[in-house]
């Protein structure tokens, strides 16, 4: 009986330690994923928040570009974009393109809530037909891509990523 209790106790302790290790990883910054996205910023034409057909390359211009594929109901996306919006002034020299497949009214509500909808360098684009999602092979959100001024991929992340790391990659 004591031997059985000891085995059960060891299994519970080992399981608990494993679970605690897992919990400690939740919310940690994402690490750079192996670069698997196409090496150049895609140039699809998508509707912006006002319903205007807009080229991704056109809104990126000749600036380093932060491209984020998100879903406003995703708590990780809410956290990531909330942190980004708090430090939006630090991104004034970069283009920011936020893309989703969500209905337009949900995207507008989310953009309004972030308080960055009216920033000249921030562009919300709707990927209605999931063209960009398919092209980039989006598997999880937020999916974050940093491109240089030549529209070449510098870094790719999935999940919550430290704002300082994004600024570092964009400033390259």
d(CA 155, CA 39): 10
Angle, to 10 degrees, between the axis of helix 104-114 and the axis of helix 75-86?
Answer: 40
Check residue 1 and give its pLDDT.
Answer: 63
Examine the domain organization and report whether 8 and 79 are in the same domain. no
Q: Kindly report, residue by residue over 117-162, the tens digit of the pLDDT.
A: 999 999 999 999 999 999 999 999 999 999 999 999 999 999 999 9
Q: Look up residue 87 and give its two tokens.
A: 């430090």
pLDDT at 33: 47
Is the same domain home to 11 and 53?
Answer: no
Q: Predicted confidence band at 29 (pLDDT cuts at 50, 70, 90)?
A: very low
What is the DSSP code (8-state) at residue 29?
A: P
Residues 6+ apart with CB under 8 A from 101: 71, 126, 127, 128, 130, 133
The predicted-structure confidence for 82-93, as pLDDT tens digits, reads as follows: 999 999 999 999
Are the beta carbons of 64 and 172 closer than 8 angstroms?
A: yes
Domains in the chain, number: 2
**Mean pLDDT for the chain?**
87
CA 69 from chain center: how many Å?
Answer: 5
Lowest pLDDT segment from 8-17, 80-89, 99-108, 129-138: 8-17
Residues 17-32: what's their mean pLDDT? 48
Find the domain containing 95 and state its range. Answer: 31-171
Q: Could you tell me if 40 and 125 lie in one domain?
A: yes
Which among 159, 137, 171 is positioned nearest to 38, based on CA atoms? Answer: 137
Does 70 share its domain with 1? Answer: no
Higher-confidence position of 35 and 75: 75
Q: Are residues 140 and 128 in the same domain?
A: yes
More confident residue, 28 or 110: 110
CA distances from 65 to 26, 31, 52, 97 (A): 27, 19, 20, 7
């Amino acid at each position: 009986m004591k031997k059985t209790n000891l085995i059960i106790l060891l299994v519970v302790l080992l399981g608990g330690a494993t679970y605690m290790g897992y919990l400690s990883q939740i919310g940690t910054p994402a690490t750079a994923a192996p670069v698997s996205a196409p090496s150049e910023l895609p140039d699809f034409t998508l509707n912006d928040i006002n319903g205007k057909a807009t080229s991704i390359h056109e809104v990126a211009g000749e600036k380093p570009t932060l491209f984020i594929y998100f879903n406003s109901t995703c708590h990780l996306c809410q956290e990531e974009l909330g942190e980004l919006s708090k430090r939006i002034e630090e991104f004034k020299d970069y283009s920011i393109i936020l893309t989703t497949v969500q209905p337009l009214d949900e995207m507008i509500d989310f953009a309004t809530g972030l308080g960055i909808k009216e920033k000249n360098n921030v562009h919300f684009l709707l990927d209605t037909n999931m063209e960009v999602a398919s092209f980039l092979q989006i598997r999880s959100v937020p999916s974050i891509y940093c491109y240089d001024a030549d529209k070449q991929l510098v870094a790719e992340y999935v999940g919550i990523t430290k704002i300082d790391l994004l600024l570092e990659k964009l400033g390259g």
